[in-house]
Amino acid sequence: MALVNEHYLKLSAGYLFPEIARRVSAFASEKPDLAKEIIRCGIGDVTEALPASAIKAMDAANDELANRATFKGYGPGTGYDSVRAAIAHGDFRSRGLDVADDEIFLSDGSKGDCGNILEILGAGNRIAVTDPVYPAYVDANVMFGNTGAAMAGGGYEGITYLPCTEANGFLADVPAASAPAPDVIYLCSPNNPTGTVMDRARLEAWVAYARKHRALLFWDAAYESYNRDANAPKSVYEIAGARECAIEFRSFSKSGGFTGVRCGYTVLPKSVMAYTRAGDAVALHGLWTRRWNTRSNGVSYAVQRGAEALYTESGKREVAALVDFYMENARILRDGCRALGWKTWGGENAPYVWCKTPGSFDSWGFFDHLLRNARVVTTPGAGFGRCGEGYFRISAFNSRANVEEVVRRLGRV
């Protein structure tokens, strides 16, 4: 008989964002006259048009595909050489960081990569995540069998949760020397959901910890283009020794508006090792290359050309303008929430504002309150982990008119 992957059966009832969609849909069905007034500031989905340079490049690529003389069929599983070169130079070598072209691996986005990377790691690794945390990290590890059963009140047995609270500025501390060391550690900066950024000294401590314990750091830098803090590294490879222990994940979703186009990349240095049970070191670069060439025919040609165009002079200006637009939205939301007396974090180096729920509301209770009384959709902090209870996230990805209207409505509830 065909056997199911029983690890999927351990997953909690619903992924966070489908549950939000279910509640919004239920409200819209109950109050159809109010449905058109709903403003969605929950999921971090962009709203503005693609950069003109990317559109032009994709149009040109489509023209090539329409001509037999310039037609492209299967591409390299890891990405076209010119695109990998543009990324390695534009995001790393131009900033003095040592990243080779063939250490860039193109994909359909960092969300998938953060889970797919587990395919080249062995079973039984102890996984550490921050709490609150982007739920895709946790769910992927449940699916791969790296956790135990779901726990009452949230979370899974077998995962090391790194508490991120007001006390530590929502930034993960290195575990105590007496605590069992994790083998794989997920870190995200600028952070989703809290909008905080990790300072250089703290990241240095994490790199030193990973090297000491022969652990891997998974550094999710999907929002690095929003980071304006000179003391907060944009790349983990700004830290000495990181090329021995860190894998970086990046995305064009929020910088280039590619949430619907789909493109991102992983940086995997040739010097990053994992180990056999006998203790022998194995370079992961070759395994990741094999994985992509076996399991994928790569990102579509036109999309890669669009991503490559973001590194042209015009493309860089257009990306900067997009980021500035969303960051102004974040400022408006942050200032509006603070004017109401709500404690807030983020919104300065990230497109998310993280707020403490007012009064006696819990996270989902305040979500429902805002939905029903302001027709505003946010993201309840409890959906990101136990330490997220009592907080909520507001996304700055929206039109300026909607963001200003959200602030007006919040003032009335």
pLDDT of residue 56: 98
Summarised one tens digit per residue, pLDDT across range 288-341 is 999 999 999 999 999 999 999 999 999 999 999 999 999 999 999 999 999 999
* Last residue within a domain, chosen from 295, 312, 329: 312
Cα angle: 226, vertex 336, 345; to 5 degrees = 45
Q: Are 108 and 248 members of one domain?
A: yes
pLDDT of residue 18: 85
Provide the pLDDT confidence category of residue 153 given band limits of 50, 70 and 90: confident
The identity of residue 229, as a single letter, is D
Q: Are 174 and 103 members of one domain?
A: yes
* Last residue within a domain, chosen from 312, 332, 352: 312
Q: Is the pLDDT of residue 13 over 90?
A: no
The answer as to whether 3 is a domain residue is no
**What whole-number percentage of the chain has pLDDT above 70?**
99
List the CATH number of the domain containing 403.
3.90.1150.10
Average pLDDT estimate for 136-142? 96
Provide the pLDDT confidence category of residue 14 given band limits of 50, 70 and 90: low
The answer as to whether 4 is a domain residue is no
- List the beta bridge partners of residue 353: 346, 394
Distances (CA, A) of 281 to 126, 250, 274, 291: 18, 26, 6, 18
Separation between Cα atoms, residue 73 and residue 193, nearest integer Å: 39
Average pLDDT estimate for 185-206? 98
- Per DSSP bridges, beta strands 281-283 and 391-395 are unpaired
Separation between Cα atoms, residue 306 and residue 368, nearest integer Å: 39
With beta carbons less than 8 A apart as the criterion, state whether 349 and 226 touch.
yes
pLDDT of residue 16: 84
Average pLDDT estimate for 138-160? 95
Domain count of the chain?
2
Helix, strand or coil, per DSSP, at residue 197: coil
Provide the pLDDT confidence category of residue 90 given band limits of 50, 70 and 90: very high
Q: Taking all residues of the chain, what is their mean pLDDT, rounded to a whole number?
A: 97
Q: Are 153 and 102 members of one domain?
A: yes
Separation between Cα atoms, residue 329 and residue 411, nearest integer Å: 17
Average pLDDT estimate for 53-65? 98
Q: Are 205 and 85 members of one domain?
A: yes
The answer as to whether 2 is a domain residue is no
List the CATH number of the domain containing 121.
3.40.640.10
Rg (CA), the chain: 21
The answer as to whether 231 is a domain residue is yes
With CA atoms as reference, report the closest residue to 248 among 273, 269, 274. Answer: 269
Helix, strand or coil, per DSSP, at residue 162: strand
The residues, any chain, with a CB within 8 Å of residue 319's CB and separated by 6 or more, are 51, 225, 255, 256, 310
pLDDT of residue 30: 96
Q: Are 194 and 113 members of one domain?
A: yes
Q: Which residue range(s) make up the domain with 45?
A: 9-49+315-410
Summarised one tens digit per residue, pLDDT across range 355-409 is 999 999 999 999 999 999 999 999 999 999 999 999 999 999 999 999 999 999 9
The two structure tokens encoding residue 345: 């974090």
Summarised one tens digit per residue, pLDDT across range 232-284 is 999 999 999 999 999 999 999 999 999 999 999 999 999 999 999 999 999 99
pLDDT of residue 312: 98
Helix, strand or coil, per DSSP, at residue 264: strand
Separation between Cα atoms, residue 206 and residue 185, nearest integer Å: 9
Provide the pLDDT confidence category of residue 12 given band limits of 50, 70 and 90: confident
Q: Are 169 and 67 members of one domain?
A: yes
Q: Are 140 and 249 members of one domain?
A: yes
Average pLDDT estimate for 134-155? 94
Q: Are 62 and 173 members of one domain?
A: yes
The residues, any chain, with a CB within 8 Å of residue 99's CB and separated by 6 or more, are 88, 91, 92, 93, 237, 267, 269
Q: Is the pLDDT of residue 87 over 70?
A: yes
